[in-house]
Amino acid sequence: MGSLKFYSTNGKAPMVDLKGALLAGQAPDRGLYMPEHVPTLDAGTIASFAKRPYHEIAEEVIWRYAEGVIDRGTLGELCRDAYNYDVPLEKVYDRVHVMRLDRGPTASFKDFAARMMARLIGRFVREDGRELLILTATSGDTGSAVASAFHGVPGIKVLVLFPINEVSDRQRKQMTTLRDNIRTIAIDGKFDDAQAMVKRAFSDPALSGLPLSSANSINIGRLLPQSVYYFYAASRVAQAGEPVVLSVPSGNFGDMMGAVLAREMGLPVKRLVVPVNENDEFPKFLATEHYEKVEPSRACISNAMNVGHPSNLARLVNVYGGWLDETGVLHKAPDFAAMRRDLFSTSVTDQETRDAIKKAWDDYKLLLEPHGAVGWKGFLDYCASEPLGNAPAVVVETAHPAKFPDEIERTTGVHPDAPPALAALDGLTEDYDSMPAEYEAFKAYLVKKY
């Protein structure tokens, strides 16, 4: 059987298989890869998830996209190896739950995708006898998840650029204490400077001899593993075939696209709630049918969601039959009526986020950090707009509260204990290089070290 093909949302690039899409990241026409058809899981398979462990559900879901580029036994081993940590579903009241995606090595949900991508890419690179140098600029969570996931993978080197004054101590230590095939550079500038340096390196002909690659949020390899935990959650809180309400706090819309794909694959979803922070371009788009980026993006306490033009929105619009290009121009309108039927979106202010952290703690002893609190408040807004009834619901918590101890202590008086992976960082010594936010310095570094 041939392998599933992936096309570009901009429609001007050749189709590729999963291996091609994973190694390329972005399509050559600057569009995003989408599966030619979304594979489905039959009701019997989905029902069987109720009694199966997380890694087996991951294997079933990812296999539907990976058949033909990897063998099933190998995929199963990679899943078992990647998903060796808990995925707790905490009951809050009635059938309402919070799913904590913060038990991976860097304590954010980005571990789920990074660990799978690292294993798949590592395998493909070895198969071809290739080498890869992954360049990434980070404002915190992505860089640490990528560095941790690729640490020790043969054939792959990782270089992470981070703005020295914009990442927390723990975020920095998650990257700078790894060593081996992971190098880190502190940039004396802002995240945007670091990102511009990385982007320029990718398009610099003088560096074309280096096997550069990226592992950013637009890689289709990020989305597929992010479908799995929605199947897992439903299998634990819903009866077979029973629709579930999902609430996913969103920035670049990669996490929510995992839920969209899960629904397309056959998971019964009553409503997908997509709360955002004060970067409110999406709820406005849904309501007014007019797209306008938020420029510059607004700085909110849920800082990993400070996105004024979500890169994965092009994929969502594509699913609903429209075309949005990478610059934010809407060439063809999606089916807005269908989008509004399936999705509910709302913007949550910083004040509402803090109030939600406090009230969740006071009412239910539910400890949330700012991103999860946006998801929680959005869920409550949804419940106020339409009766939840007896439907099962799952609100996604995307990071560990101990990553934001000050904010939480101020609002609740509780000091969140660090999980072992974060606590262990305190005793480790760091190792990183430093440079000004100047491209020529970065280029000289690349030429000298690689």
Residues at the site binding ligand PLP, with contacts judged by CB under 6 A: 108, 110, 141, 217, 249-255, 304-305, 371, 398-399
Of the pair 18, 305, the CB lying nearest ligand PLP is at: 305
Q: How far is the CB of 252 from ligand PLP (least distance, A)?
A: 3
Instruction: Characterise 118 by phi-psi region: left (phi > 0), alpha (psi -120 to 50), beta (else).
Output: alpha
Of the pair 155, 254, the CB lying nearest ligand PLP is at: 254
Six-digit token string for 166 = 């914009």
Of the pair 7, 109, the CB lying nearest ligand PLP is at: 109
Q: How far is the CB of 372 from ligand PLP (least distance, A)?
A: 8
| Radius of gyration (C-alpha) of the chain in whole angstroms | 21
Of the pair 13, 62, the CB lying nearest ligand PLP is at: 62
Six-digit token string for 335 = 């089916």
Q: How far is the CB of 253 from ligand PLP (least distance, A)?
A: 5
Question: Which residue from 116, 45, 48, 114 is spatially nearest to 79, judged by alpha carbons?
Answer: 116
Long-range contacts of 36-41 (CB under 8 A, 24+ apart): 36/4, 36/5, 36/6, 36/7, 37/4, 38/261, 38/264, 38/265, 39/4, 39/64, 39/65, 39/265, 40/64, 40/264, 40/265, 40/266, 41/231, 41/265, 41/266, 41/267
How is the beta sheet containing 269-276 ordered, strand by strand? 89-93, 96-100, 393-397, 244-247, 269-276, 343-347
Six-digit token string for 37 = 């058809």
Six-digit token string for 133 = 């140098």
Of the pair 46, 356, the CB lying nearest ligand PLP is at: 356
Q: How far apart are CA 20 and CA 4, in angstroms?
A: 11
Q: How far is the CB of 98 from ligand PLP (least distance, A)?
A: 14
Of the pair 59, 141, the CB lying nearest ligand PLP is at: 141
Q: How far is the CB of 279 from ligand PLP (least distance, A)?
A: 11
Of the pair 35, 143, the CB lying nearest ligand PLP is at: 143
Q: How far is the CB of 164 from ligand PLP (least distance, A)?
A: 20
Q: How far is the CB of 48 from ligand PLP (least distance, A)?
A: 28
Using DSSP's 3-state secondary structure scheme, residue 336 falls into helix
